[in-house]
Structure 1
Amino acid sequence: MSRAPTVDDVARLAGVSRQTVSNVLNTPAVVRAATRERVEAAIADLGYRPHAAARRLRTRRSSTIGVHLDPYAGGISGVVLDRFVHALTERASDRGMRVLVYAARSPEEEMARLADLLDGGEVDAVVVTGTFHGDPRTGWLSGRDMPFVSFGRPWGEDDVEAPAHLWVDVDGAAGTAAATRHALAVAGPRVAFLGWPEGSGTGDDRERGWREALASVGGRGPRWYAEEGVGTARAVVERVLRAGEEVDAIVCVSDSLAIGAHLAAGAAGLPGLPIVGFDNTPAAEALGLSSVEQLPERVAAGALELLMGATGSVVAPRPAESGSAHVLVEPRLVVR
């Protein structure tokens, strides 16, 4: 086909009406699953893409998704979120959507920024990042009836069977469990965990994976605490190693802590001590450290699926119902 495919071309190939194709693109929930799959296959075969500008005029929608960008902090932090935003932008573009990145230094400032965006009709949906216990942003968005999905679970009592809202997250416990099993196999039964202080939803979830993997084989190991940062982690590990605590390997809640542990082990004359990080940042790769890869590209795809359906081109979020309001991405362990 020398010209760009049209809605009519899709309808002919799928054997449906033009209106049915429009429904699949704009309100997929009203189309029967078998019909929707046939239309989606035709769209994929033809490489059809709706004209975004025309659609914005027709639907009076912005065709824009807002996402928060953390302030630049330097160092190795923020790499995963940067990859996520990049992937979200690419995948949204494939659906004829744009991504608007906004900055805020606190939840309160973010809600004020969102109020301006929503009142001005500048976004059709929002992706909230970095959720935490008692996060005020999610309740605020729900109260405004604004479609949104969070990168990070709601951290309620049961986020799967009784979800507060749509969410996508990385299975941190599965990642640290894989890291712990690897450490047990290559090093020995004494596997320490270097994590953040208790109370962080993400950190506590990653600690759970370490504990469960150790318990499954009768392994053992100390739990060490450090605030996020290479220097703080190095100081903690240097102190416990000087005190004579012996371990066969260390599993860490982040690459920053893993790098600090690696430097401390080297200073203690243990340069070969197996250490596994989390995030698989370029810094960990450069030092030859094994690490858990979060796969933020899959997280971005999951967020769009929750907001727009498998192949939809407008925001039509699925209901936040038991068992189907989330996408949980299993990370992969990168061994070096």
Structure 2
Amino acid sequence: MTPTCRPTKGAPVARSPRLEDVALAAGVSRQTVSNVINSPGIVREDTRERVSRAIADLGYRPHAAARSLRTRRSSTIAIHLDPYAGGISGVVLDRFVHALTDLAGVRGMRVLLYAARDHREEIGRLTELLDGGEADAIVITGTFHGDPRTRWLAGRQTPFVAFGRPWGEDDHHAWVDVDGAAGTRAATRWALESAGPEVAFVGWPSGSDTGDDREAGWRSALPTGDGLRLVSEESVSDARAVVAQALASGTAVDALVCASDSLAVGAHLAAVAAGRADLPIVGFDNTPAAEAIGLSSVEQRPERVASAALDLLLGPSESSGGASRHVLVEPQLVLR
């Protein structure tokens, strides 16, 4: 771990100074610095002067999003509501939206849901909301390589945060995501220790950033970095057919790690039909479907994602301890 040095008065820093740097230099909490910037009247004069000197000495500039939200008109954060697609794994985004709404209310903000069929229509809808003063900040989801929404929002200097990484793009904007590779890595290590060396992976076709990330975690945990990889669309029936074929072929499979709970449910049905109901299978998303049939799964912790997203938009809450511009939430392996 690289040690963190306490900034001293007037000392240059290798990166742009952050709120916590000012707090350390002034000998106060992050919240006190935030109060000096946002509500100076509630801070004692001597403390306010000490913080102000630290801000000047370090050259700290509050994040543009925070400055914009301090002059907000509607106290509203807009987020896209994905169309209902059925299936098993959509519950994760639902949990995220619910958590975001609850946590935003605690911090004096409201959440507005809007619908759009594609990204071009979404930009049009955002234009209406922002120009009409109906929203002050945006949370976007479902990011992908070359996402036009991030460039458009940055060009408007609109405070926004993405739930999802930019995947190789310029990542100067704020984002929070789940470390999918860490989740499948933990699942694979558990399977190797508890079931045997032949741990296969059931994933989506190559080219999905999220799917490739989860596959990379599985590979990184294998002693040789390679193993049986089964390919399926995001479908219970497709996964069942793919896994049934692999088991029928006599290929050695001690356990299965899957890119989603939908794939895990399909794999479980195939294993039961093949007389291997006890085959260890780990899904991803920890949905009620996985819980109902007793499948282990990787929990994404969407509530933590929502909390981090709000910290990036509004500044850290007193209990959060602060947040960087990019946050990877560590998922949790739930064993059943």
Which category describes the TM-score, using the shorter chain as reference length? Answer: 0.7 to 0.9
Match of 1:263 among 247, 269, 292: 269
Cα-Cα RMSD = 2.7
Report runs of 4+ in structure 1 exceeding 2 Å deviation.
Answer: 18-26, 218-221
3-state secondary structure, aligned to 1:257: helix
Residues 1:206 and 1:93: Cα distance change in structure 2 (over 3 Å): same
Distance 1:129 1:60 in 2: 22
Question: 2-side partners of 1:212 and 1:252: how far apart?
Answer: 15
Structure 2 partner of 1:311? 317
CA contact (8 A) 2:145 2:168 kept: yes
Are positions 1:187 and 2:195 aligned together? yes
Name the structure 1 match of 2:327.
Answer: 327
With over 3 angstroms needed to count, the CA separation of the structure-2 counterparts of 1:219 and 1:142, relative to structure 1, is closer
d(CA) in 2 for partners of 1:110, 1:241: 44
TM-score (norm 2): 0.78
Contiguous gaps of at least 5 residues in structure 1: 1-13, 37-55, 313-317
Partner of 1:164: 172
Does the Cα contact within 8 Å between 1:83 and 1:297 map onto a contact in 2?
A: yes
- Distance across 1 between alignment mates of 2:167 and 2:243: 30
Give the equivalent residue in structure 1 for 2:306: 300
Per-residue CA deviations over 1:194-253 (Å, capped at 9, x if unaligned) read 0111111111111111000113xx475201111101111111111222222221000000
Which protein, 1 or 2, shows the higher relative CO under an 8 Å CA cutoff with sep ≥ 6?
Answer: 1
Match of 2:208? 200
Shift of 1:25: 5.2
Change (3 A) 1:256 1:97: same
How far 1:20 sits from its partner (Å)? 8.2
Which residue of structure 2 aligns with residue 245 of structure 1? 251
In the alignment, structure 1 residue 141 sits paired with structure 2 residue 149 = no
Counterpart among 115, 118, 124 of residue 130 in structure 2: 118
Q: Say if 1:189 and 1:219, in contact at 8 Å, map to a contact too.
A: no
The SS at the match of 1:146 is: coil
Query: What one-letter code is carried by the residue in structure 2 that aligns with 1:244?
Result: G
Of 91, 105, 121 in structure 2, the residue corresponding to residue 79 of structure 1 is: 91
Q: Deviations for 1:47-69, whole angstroms, at most 9, x for unmatched residues?
A: xxxxxxxxx9x945110000111
Instruction: Note if contact 1:221-1:247 (Cα within 8 Å) is conserved in structure 2.
Output: no
Contact (CA 8 Å) 2:271, 2:277: kept in 1 or not?
Answer: yes
Moved more, 289-298 or 238-247: 238-247
Q: Is the contact made by 1:163 and 1:325 (CA closer than 8 Å) also made in structure 2?
A: no
State the partner residue of 1:6: none
CA distance in 2, matches of 1:119, 1:21: 29
2:197 counterpart letter in structure 1: P
Partner residue, 2:222: 214
- 2:144 aligned to which of 132, 145, 149: 132
Look up the equivalent residue of 1:206 and give its one-letter code. R
| Length-normalised TM-score, structure 1 | 0.78
Is residue 2:242 matched to residue 1:230? no
Question: For residues 232 and 90 of structure 1, do their structure 2 counterparts lie closer, same or farther at Cα, with a shift above 3 Å needed?
Answer: same
The aligned counterpart of 2:281 is 275
Structure 1 position 23 matched with structure 2 position 37: yes
Of 165, 184, 205, the match for 1:153: 165
Amino acid at match of 1:301: S
CA distance in 2, matches of 1:25, 1:172: 39
Query: Whole-Å Cα distance in 2 between the matches of residues 220 and 268 of structure 1?
Result: 25
* 1:24-60 per-position Cα deviation (integer Å, ceiling 9, x unaligned): 459xxxx98x969xxxxxxxxxxxxxxxxxxx9x945
For 1:19 and 1:197, the matched residues in 2 are separated by 48
2-structure distance, mates of 1:19, 1:179: 41
SS at match of 1:273: coil
